[in-house]
Structure 1
Amino acid sequence: MRHILLVLILLCLVTTVHAQTTAAKGLGIIKGTIIDSAKNAPLGYATIAVVDAETKQPVKSTLSKDNGSFELSGLALKSYQLNVISVGYQTKSIAVNTLKEGAATANVDKIILAPSSSQLNEVKVTAAKPLVKQEIDRVSYDVQADPDSKAQTAMDMLRKVPLISVDGDDNIQLQGSGSYKIFINGKPSQMLANNPKDILKAMPAANILKIEVITTPPAKYDAEGLAGIINIITSKTADDGYNGSVTARYNLPWGPNLNLTGTAKQGKFGVSGYVGGGDRIAVTTNSLNERQTYAPVSDFLQTGSRQNKGKYVYSSVELSYEIDTLNLLTGSVEYDKGRFDQFQDQPTQFTSADPGTLPQSYRLLNNGGYGWDETDLGLNYQLGFKRDKKQLLTASYQYTYFSNENHSDISTVDRVNYNSPDNNQQNNAGTRQHTLQLDYVHPLKQLTIEAGAKAIFRNNFSNSEVENLTNVNGQNVFVTDPTLSNDFNYHQNVYSLYNSYTYKAGNWTWKGGVRMEHTHVDANFFTDGSSLNRDYTNVIPSLSIMRNFSKNQSLTFGFTNRLERPGIWQLNPFVDRSNPQIINTGNPDLHAVLSHLFELTYNKSGIGNISAKLSYMYTNNSIVSVTKLISDTLSETTYDNVGKYKTARFNLNGSYPITKQLNASLNTALFYVWIKGTYNGEFYSNKGPRTNTNASVTYKPGDDWTIGANYGYNSHLIWLQGGSNHYMYSSLSLSKVILNKKLTITGVVNNPTQKLYTYTQFTSTPDFYQANTQYQIYRTFNFSLNYKFGKLSSDIKKNQRSINNDDVSKQ
C-alpha cells in the first residue's frame, strides 16, 4: 500500500501539460504590461477593466501579475476602452480599436502609470459594495460591507449568509443539513466544531472580513461535510508600519466584550492577529420538558429555570518571514479558553393511568457547568519558482489540542415516591491531532494543475465518571459507580491524495479533480476491555463548470460527493444523566456517510446583483439523532446510521442600490425535505417544505451616518422523528463615524417588538410524544465603539496553501 501511495504522489506532482494560448474563433485578446513611471519597474496587482466603447458597459476585468503583465481573452471583435487603475497612481484610459477578423490580438505594449500623492483624497466611492459574490465553487458574504457588523456578533452575521440558516436555539444548518465543516481562515477550529453557539455569539463581527460557503469543494479540500464548508475569514493584510483597531461592545442583557486586532510589518517580518474576551453576566431563562406515553397512558412534566454565566478569551496570531522572493516561512498560534457555570431548578412530576404505578414528584437541582480549552499551532514552508510566481510547493504541519469538560452535581428535594440517589457526574472529552500536508501547484497558460498528499493522526478521548450518594457505615458519601463510568479512546488516521485541474478558455472555466481518502479506525473501551477496528477507502470526485455570458452573466454547474465521519460528540459513550428522565449518549459504532450533491447557479452582476441556485442532495444511512423510550419515566437520545435523506432546494439572493443612499438585499431559500428510516423496530417517514428568508435595507444619509434594518423568517425543522416550530427575527441599527473616520459608534436593537421567544423541539413516535421548550430572551441591545489606528505602506506575504482539516463535520 505504501509503494502504491508513493507512486501516486509522484505521478500527481510531476504531471505537466503543454498548452498553447490561441484565440478562439471569433474572439479576441488584449494584452500588455503595466509600468511604474517613478521606478521604471513592472507594477503588479493593478486593475485592468475593459469597457464597451459604444455602450460604456463593463465587459471584463483582471489584475496585472507580479511582472506587470496582463491578458484579457474571450472578447468580441469590436472597439473597447481600457481603464487601468491602481491605488496611489493616476488612472489611465486607452482606446483599443484594432480587434477584427485576422487581427484577434491587440498588444497595447507598455502602459505607464504615474504616482499621484493626492489621489486618495480626491476619489469618492459612490456605489455600494455588493454583500454577496458568486464564484465557481462558492458564495461569499462581505461582512465589512454590512453596517451591522460594527456591533453584531458572528452568529448574527451567519443568519444573513446565503445557504445558511440558524434556528431559534442557535443551531446552524448549511443547505438544510447539520453536517458540514466550519473553520477560520481556512483552518479547522475544534473550538467551533464542538461549541459553535457560545463561540460565534462571543466573536465580534468586526473581526470578520467575509464568510465563504463552499458548496462544491474542489479536490484539495478534505471530503468531510455532507453539505459543504463554512469558512470565516478574519485575517487582514499588514504593511510596513502597523495598524489596528480596538472594539468595546456591550450587549444587554448578556454583558461586555473587548476586542483588539492588529497588524505590523517591518522588512521581511510581519505579524497579524486578534485577541479578545468577555464576561457573560448571569441571566436566567425558563424551560419546559414534557412527555406523554400512550400505553399505558402516562404524563411527565418538568418546568424550571436555568441561570448561566461565564467568562471567555480567544486569540489568533499569524507570523510571516520572507526569506527571499522564492522562500516563505509562516506560522500561526491560536488559543481559546472559556468557562460557563449553570444552575438549574426543575420541579418534576409524573402521573400514570396504570393503577399499579404511584404518582411521582420531586424538585431537581443541578449545579454544574462546562469549559473548553483549545490550542492550535501551525508551521508552513512555501517554495516558489522563477518560471512562474504561481508555481508553488508547500509543506505544512499542524498540531491541535482541544478539550471540553462538563460536570453536574445533582440533588433532589421535595421527593414523593422518588428513590434515585443524588449523584455527581463529570466528563472530559476532546481531541489531540497531528497533521502533515504537501501541496504542489503547477500553472500553465490556461491550465492550472494541483496535487498533494496529507496524513492526519487523530486521537479522540473521553473519560467519564459517576458518583452516587451512598450510605456507608451510617454516613452519606459519594461512591464511584463503575457501571456508569467509562474511559474511551478513538484513534482515527486519515491518509489522502488529490489531483485537480482548472482550465480557462474564453468564457468557459472548468474545475475538476479526484480525492482518495483511506481511513483507519482503532477504538478501545478501557472500562470493559472491548475494542473495534475498521478500515475504509473513499474516492471523491468533484466537478464545477462556469460559462460567462455578456452583460456580466454566468451559469455554473457543480457536482461532488461528500463524506461525514462521526465526531467525538456523536461517538462518545458517556451517558449524560444531568436530567435523570431524559438521558443523552453517543454511539461508538457509527459509520461514515456518503452524500451526492448536484447544483446549477445563475448569476448576474452590475449595478445590482442577483443569484439563483437549484440544488439536489441525497444521502443513504445518514447519521441522525434518535430517541427511544426505556421506561414510562425515562427516554434515551443517541445517534444512529438509519436515515435516508433527500432535499431539493431553490435559493435566490441579490442586492440593488435603489438610490445612491438606499440599498436593499434579499436572501431566500425554498426547499423540500424527505427523510425516512427504521429505528428500534419502527419505520419513520417525514417530509415537507421549508424556507428561510432574510431581507435588509441600508440607508446612508451622508458619508458619516448609516441606518440599517433587517428581517428574517425560518420555518420549522424536519427530522426523522419530529421537528421544531418556526421563528422570526429582526434588527435596527444606527452608526456614526467621527474623528476623521477613525472612531465608529454603533447601536443595534435585535427583535425590538418581541421581548421573549418560545422555541419548541419535539419527538413524535407511535409510543410517545416528547418536547422541549425554551423561553428565550429575544430583545437585546448592542452598543459598540470601534477605534482604528496606525499607518501602512506594503503588504505582508502569506502562504497560498495551508492545512485545512475539514474532514470531521461540525456536531
Structure 2
Amino acid sequence: MKTNILFTFLFALISLNCFAQNLELRAKVIDETAQPVVGAVVAITTSDNNNDHTTLCDADGVFTFDIPSGEYTLSVKFLGLEDISQNIILDKSIDIGTITMQTKYTEIDGVTVLGVRPTIKREADRVTFNLNNSSYAHGANGLELLQYVPGVKASHNSIGIIGKGSVKIFINNRETKLTSDDLINLLKSYNASEIEKIEVITTPPARYDAEGNTGIINIILKTIPQNFFGGTVSYTGYYQNFEEVKAYDNYSSLNLKYNKSAFSSFVNVNYSNGESGYIESNNINYPEQLWKNRMITIANNKPVNIRGGFDFMLDDKSSIGAHISYNKTDLLNTENNSSIIYSTGYIIADSTIYGTNLTHGAGDRINANLHFDRTFDSLGKKMLFDADYLSFVTNRDNSFRSEVIRQNDSYAGYGYDEHLSRNIRVVSSLLDFILPMRTLSITTGVKFSHTENDYRLNHINDTKIPNYDDRFIYRENILALYVDLDKKISDKFSLKVGLRGENTTTNGNSVVLGDSFDKGYFRLFPTLYATYNPSKNHILNLTFSNRISRPSFNMVNPFKQYANEYSYVQGKIELEPYFSYNTEIGYTYKNNLNFSLYYSISDNVFSQLLELNEQTKIIGVLWDNFLTQRRFGITNSYSLNKVDWLRIYFQHGLYYSANTSSVASNPGVSGWVYDAVVMSDFYLNKKKTLVASLSTNYSSRSYMGNLTMDSYVMMNGGVRYNVLNNRINFGFNVSNLFNLYAATGFINSNGMTMNIRNHYSIPTYRLSVSYNFGTKISSKTRTYSNSDITNRL
C-alpha cells in the first residue's frame, strides 16, 4: 500500500511537467576557482517590473526559472563577488551554461581592498565553512579544521555533530570507507592549503549512501585554475606542554598542480615526524575501595602520504580521470599508566600498579579511483561512472609490563606480548545519471560495494592469562539503487523527493572461537526537501530523512582485547545496525539569520557497556545494542559582516537528549543541553592581509547514552599574515587557550560510579609558513562549455 502511494505521488509530480506552459531558463554560477557559488541571489526582471522572479543557486551552483517568454534582465549577486547583469530574450527554453563571478575589489584611500566571502554559510540542507580567508586554516590539517567548524565535535578518536550524533566523512563527494584511528590518520594527512571548504550535510539526498545516522561531512578540495602550473610548499611546527606531556611535531607538504587545455593533474606529498600526547584519568568508587587510574600516552608517528591524479577531456562532452594515493605509517606509542588503590576512608594507598605499554607498528594504505563522465545535451544531462579500490594493511606489536607495589614493599609482576594485523580490501563502483529537464530534474543511479576485513591477534608470554590466537574475518556487500526527483512547483515553492534502496549482506567468522554469523536485509530510505521562498529575503524549508548506522569491524569481533589484567574491550558478533529518523524545519532571513527546529529518534542503538566487577576489580567495555535515543531542539545562527574590520559568526542551540537503556546495570541518562560558538575575524590592516581570529565554544552538561559529560569552555586563537600578494603566508595559532577544556564526566554501572577526566585537547602552539608559486600557461585551445567536469580534482 505504501509503495502504491509513493509511486502515485511521484507520477503526479512528473505529470506536472506535461501541463507546463512556461519556458525554462537555466545556468550554473561559479567563482574564479571554478567552485559553485552556492546561495547566490539570482533575480530576473522585466522593464515594467510586472513579472519579477528571484531564486538562489543550489548546492551545485545551478539556478532555474520557469517563466513566460519575453525580454528580461538577469542579475546575479553574492557577497564578496562582483555583481553580474545581462539582458536575455527568452523565446525558447535555454541553458546559458556557466556564469563566472569575479572577486570584488574596492578602492579606499588609494588602497585596493580584496572582498572576502563569508566564512560560514548556512543553506537548506547543509552548513558550509569556507576556508580561504580564515586564520584558523593556515598550517592546520584536516582533523584540526573540523575542530573549528561550528556544530562539529572532532576529537582524537571520533567525529560527530553536537546534539545529533556521528557522521560519515566524504572527500570530494567520495566516501572514505575508513573508521576509527584509520580515518583520523587519513584526515591528518590533508593540509589546509589543499582544502577549499567543508560541508556539513545534515540531510543528504538519496544519491548519497544511507550510512551515518545524522548526515555527512564533505571535504571539498581546491580545484586547479585553467592554464596554470604551480603549487604550495608549507611547513608547520607544533609544541605541547602540559603536565607530563611535552611534545614536538613538525609537518611538511608540497602540492603541485597543472592544468592546460583538456588535461589537468596534481601531485601532493606530505610528511610528518614528531610526537603528540594526551592524558586519560578516571576514579572508580567501589563499595570498599577507591581506584585512581591515570594514563599518559605519547605517540611518535612518521606518516608519509603521496597523492596524484589526472583528468583528461576526450572531447567537448566526455572526460576520463584517475586518482591514486599511498600512505605509509610508522608509529611508536608509549603508554605509562598507574592505578593507586585506597581502602574506603583511608588516606594512605594500599597499593600502586605501574604499567608501561610499548606499541610499534607500520601500515600501508592504497586508494585508487577511476572515473568517466559524459554530458549528453545543453541542458546538462550527464552520466558519471566511478570505480574505487582500497587496500589497507597494518601490523602492530604491543609489549606490556606492569608491577604491583604494596604497603609492605612486596610486589608482583604482570606482562604479555601480542601481535595484531589487519588486512582491509574494499571494491566499489557506481553509475549515476543526472537528467535535468525543462521543469523537472531527475538523478538516479546504482552502486555496489564489497568489503573484506581479515583481523589477526596473537597473544603470547602472558604471565596470568593463557596464550591465545584469534582470527576474525568479516565481509560486507551492499547493493544500492536510488532516485531523486527535483521539481520547481512555482516561483516560490520547490520540492525534492528521494528514495534509496539498499540490500546488505554480512558474514563474520571468529576462526579460533568457532563463532560465526550470516545476515541479510533490505531497507528503503526516503528523503524529502520542501522549500518555500515567498521573497528574496525569506526562505522556509522542511527536510526528512531515514538513515542507518552499521557496526564497524572491531565492534563485532567477539574476542577480548586486554589493555592489562584489569581492563579489556570486547565486541559482539550479533551486533545489529540501527536506524534513525530525522526531521528539521528551517527559516533563513537574508541568507544570514537562521533558525532550525529538529527532532530525531533512533532505536536499538549500539554503544559501549561498562562492566565494573566488585570482586575482581576488572573493567569490561562491551559493545551491545541497548539504547533508544531521542533528541529534539532548536538552533540559531547569525553572521555579522557589516563592519569592514570585523566578521562574527554566532551559533547556539538548546536541545533535549533522552537516552533509554534496556540494561539495568547501565542506565541511560537524559537532560537539557545548551551549546554555543562564537567565531570572530579581526582585519588589522586595510589590505586585510593581517587577520587575527578568536573562537569560543561552550557546552552545558550533556548526555550521551549512559555517559554524562560536564560543561566546558574551549577557546582557540590565531594570527595570519599574507605578503607578496598572498604568495607567502605566516600563521600562529593556539588551541585550548588558557587550558580551559578537559573532558570530564561520569558513568554509572552496577551501582558504582566511574568519574572521568581526560585531556585530549592539550594546549598546542602551532607555527606555520607556506609559499604559493605558479604561473599562467598560454593556450590557444578553446575551453569547453562543460569544463567544470575537469575540476573534480
TM-score, L = length of structure 2: 0.83
Counterpart in 2 of 1:543? 528
Q: Which of 635, 650, 655 is the matching residue for 1:651?
A: 635
Contact 1:225–1:564 (CA<8 Å) still a contact in 2?
yes
What is the identity, as a one-letter code, of the residue corresponding to 1:572?
A: N
3-state SS of 1:225 partner: coil
**Number of aligned positions between the proteins:** 741
What is the identity, as a one-letter code, of the residue corresponding to 1:438?
A: L
What is the identity, as a one-letter code, of the residue corresponding to 1:364?
A: G
Establish whether residue 769 from structure 1 lines up as the match of residue 753 from structure 2: yes
CA shift, 1:121, in A, is 11
3-state SS of 1:455 partner: strand
Q: For 2:103 and 2:184, how far apart are their aligned partners in 1? A: 46
Establish whether residue 457 from structure 1 lines up as the match of residue 423 from structure 2: no
What is the identity, as a one-letter code, of the residue corresponding to 2:388?
A: Q
Q: For 1:163 and 1:613, how far apart are their aligned partners in 2? A: 13
Q: For 1:274 and 1:532, how far apart are their aligned partners in 2? A: 42
3-state SS of 1:660 partner: coil
Q: Which of 594, 603, 627 is the matching residue for 1:611?
A: 594
CA shift, 1:594, in A, is 0.8
1:215-257 CA distance string (max 9 Å, x none): 1111111111111111111141342231322222222234211
With over 3 angstroms needed to count, the CA separation of the structure-2 counterparts of 1:212 and 1:619, relative to structure 1, is: same
Establish whether residue 552 from structure 1 lines up as the match of residue 550 from structure 2: no
Counterpart in 2 of 1:333? 324
CA shift, 1:740, in A, is 2.9
1:266-285 CA distance string (max 9 Å, x none): 3322113533121223x565
Any residues of structure 2 matched to 1:39-118 within 5 Å, and which?
49-50=42-43, 60=54, 72-73=65-66, 82-83=74-75, 93=85
3-state SS of 2:668 partner: strand
With over 3 angstroms needed to count, the CA separation of the structure-2 counterparts of 1:409 and 1:186, relative to structure 1, is: same
Establish whether residue 152 from structure 1 lines up as the match of residue 150 from structure 2: no
Q: For 1:33 and 1:627, how far apart are their aligned partners in 2? A: 56
Establish whether residue 411 from structure 1 lines up as the match of residue 401 from structure 2: yes
1:661-697 CA distance string (max 9 Å, x none): 2211112232110001122x53623101223321122
CA shift, 1:160, in A, is 3.6
What is the identity, as a one-letter code, of the residue corresponding to 2:266?
A: S
What is the identity, as a one-letter code, of the residue corresponding to 1:141?
A: F
What is the identity, as a one-letter code, of the residue corresponding to 1:412?
A: S
What is the identity, as a one-letter code, of the residue corresponding to 1:466?
A: H
Any residues of structure 2 matched to 1:744-759 within 5 Å, and which?
744-754=729-739, 757-759=741-743
Contact 2:55–2:63 (CA<8 Å) still a contact in 1?
no
1:123-146 CA distance string (max 9 Å, x none): 966654122333343221112232
With over 3 angstroms needed to count, the CA separation of the structure-2 counterparts of 1:528 and 1:420, relative to structure 1, is: farther
Counterpart in 2 of 1:625? 608
With over 3 angstroms needed to count, the CA separation of the structure-2 counterparts of 1:799 and 1:762, relative to structure 1, is: farther
Counterpart in 1 of 2:307? 316
Cα RMSD, aligned residues only:
4.2
Counterpart in 2 of 1:786? 770
Counterpart in 2 of 1:660? 644
Any residues of structure 2 matched to 1:237-386 within 5 Å, and which?
237-253=224-240, 254-281=248-275, 286-294=279-287, 297-351=288-342, 360-385=351-376
Contact 2:104–2:115 (CA<8 Å) still a contact in 1?
no
Counterpart in 1 of 2:474? 490
CA shift, 1:498, in A, is 1.1
With over 3 angstroms needed to count, the CA separation of the structure-2 counterparts of 1:49 and 1:508, relative to structure 1, is: closer
With over 3 angstroms needed to count, the CA separation of the structure-2 counterparts of 1:747 and 1:221, relative to structure 1, is: same
Counterpart in 2 of 1:429? 422
Q: For 2:760 and 2:63, how far apart are their aligned partners in 1? A: 56
Q: Which of 445, 448, 452 is the matching residue for 2:441?
A: 448
Q: For 2:95 and 2:544, how far apart are their aligned partners in 1? A: 42
1:145-200 CA distance string (max 9 Å, x none): 32321233433432343432246x66422243443211211122245654444554
Counterpart in 1 of 2:385? 395
Using the TM superposition, name which of 255-264 and 407-416 deviates more. Answer: 407-416
3-state SS of 2:555 partner: helix
Structure 2: tracts of 5 or more residues without a match: 1-9, 29-35, 241-247, 778-782
What is the identity, as a one-letter code, of the residue corresponding to 2:311?
A: S
Contact 1:131–1:655 (CA<8 Å) still a contact in 2?
no
Contact 1:191–1:402 (CA<8 Å) still a contact in 2?
no
What is the identity, as a one-letter code, of the residue corresponding to 2:368?
A: L
Using the TM superposition, name which of 620-629 and 145-154 deviates more. Answer: 145-154
With over 3 angstroms needed to count, the CA separation of the structure-2 counterparts of 1:72 and 1:265, relative to structure 1, is: same
Q: For 1:326 and 1:16, how far apart are their aligned partners in 2? A: 27
Counterpart in 2 of 1:806? none
1:524-551 CA distance string (max 9 Å, x none): 1111333211111111111111112313
Q: Which of 519, 532, 537 is the matching residue for 2:504?
A: 519
Counterpart in 2 of 1:102? none
What is the identity, as a one-letter code, of the residue corresponding to 2:764?
A: T
Q: For 1:114 and 1:499, how far apart are their aligned partners in 2? A: 28
Counterpart in 2 of 1:9? none
With over 3 angstroms needed to count, the CA separation of the structure-2 counterparts of 1:217 and 1:109, relative to structure 1, is: closer
CA shift, 1:788, in A, is 1.4
3-state SS of 2:669 partner: strand
Establish whether residue 583 from structure 1 lines up as the match of residue 568 from structure 2: yes
Q: Which of 200, 205, 210 is the matching residue for 1:213?
A: 200
Structure 1: tracts of 5 or more residues without a match: 1-11, 35-43, 99-104, 471-478, 804-811
With over 3 angstroms needed to count, the CA separation of the structure-2 counterparts of 1:84 and 1:203, relative to structure 1, is: closer
3-state SS of 1:684 partner: coil
Contact 2:224–2:791 (CA<8 Å) still a contact in 1?
no
CA shift, 1:20, in A, is 5.5
Contact 1:21–1:446 (CA<8 Å) still a contact in 2?
no
Q: For 2:196 and 2:41, how far apart are their aligned partners in 1? A: 24
Q: For 1:90 and 1:657, how far apart are their aligned partners in 2? A: 17
Q: For 1:210 and 1:736, how far apart are their aligned partners in 2? A: 20
With over 3 angstroms needed to count, the CA separation of the structure-2 counterparts of 1:45 and 1:744, relative to structure 1, is: closer
Q: For 1:107 and 1:313, how far apart are their aligned partners in 2? A: 55
Q: For 1:777 and 1:769, how far apart are their aligned partners in 2? A: 24
Q: For 1:463 and 1:110, how far apart are their aligned partners in 2? A: 57
3-state SS of 2:560 partner: coil
3-state SS of 2:476 partner: strand
With over 3 angstroms needed to count, the CA separation of the structure-2 counterparts of 1:377 and 1:130, relative to structure 1, is: same
Any residues of structure 2 matched to 1:161-180 within 5 Å, and which?
161-166=149-154, 171-180=158-167
With over 3 angstroms needed to count, the CA separation of the structure-2 counterparts of 1:421 and 1:114, relative to structure 1, is: closer
Counterpart in 1 of 2:711? 726
Q: For 2:56 and 2:585, how far apart are their aligned partners in 1? A: 25
